[in-house]
Copies of this chain bind each other. A is one copy, B any other.
Amino acid sequence: MATKAAVSISVAASITAASSSSSKFVINTPHRFLCLKRLSSFSSFSASALAIKCTSISNCSPNKSARSMEGFTTRTRASAQPLENANELIASVETFIFDCDGVIWKGDKLIDGVPETLDMLRSKGKRLVFVTNNSTKSRKQYGKKFETLGLNVNEEEIFASSFAAAAYLKSINFPKDKKVYAIGEDGILKELELAGFQYLGGPEDGGKKIELKPGFLMEHDKDVGAVVVGFDRYFNYYKVQYGTLCIRENPGCLFIATNRDAVTHLTDAQEWAGGGSMVGAICGSTQREPLVVGKPSTFMMDYLANKFGILKSQICMVGDRLDTDILFGQNGGCKTLLVLSGVTSLSMLQSPSNSIQPDFYTNKISDFLSIKAATL
A residues apposed to B, CB below 8 Å: 16-17, 19-20, 30, 32, 59-66, 68-70, 107-108, 210, 212-218, 232-237, 240-241, 244-245, 248, 260, 262-263, 266-289
Contact = CB atoms under 8 A, between A and B. Distances in A.
B232 A237 contact: yes
Given A63-B61, A108-B214, A286-B262, A277 B240 contact: yes
Nearest to A323: B287
A283 B60 contact: yes
B280 A216 contact: no
Contacts of A279: 284
A269 B70 contact: no
A266 B16 contact: no
A68 B288 CA distance: 18
A245 B65 CA distance: 24
Nearest to A31: B287
10 contacts: A60-B284, A210-B233, A212-B266, A235-B240, A240-B277, A244-B273, A248-B271, A279-B284, A281-B281, A283-B284
Contacts of A59: 61, 63
A134 to B, nearest CB: 13
A38 to B, nearest CB: 19
B278 A20 contact: no
Given A69-B70, A280-B285, 7 more contacts: A17-B64, A66-B66, A66-B69, A235-B237, A245-B270, A274-B284, A280-B284
A62 B65 contact: no
B281 A277 contact: yes
Contacts of A236: 234-236
Contact of A262 (B69, B271, B285): B285
A241 B16 contact: no
A235 B233 contact: no
Nearest to A244: B273
Contact of A241 (B30, B268, B273, B287): B273
Contact of A65 (B17, B217, B234, B235): B17
A354 to B, nearest CB: 14
A307 B297 CA distance: 50
Contacts of A235: 235-237, 240, 281
A216 B273 contact: no
Q: Which residue of A16, A262, A282 has the most chain B CB atoms within 10 A of its CB atom? A: A262
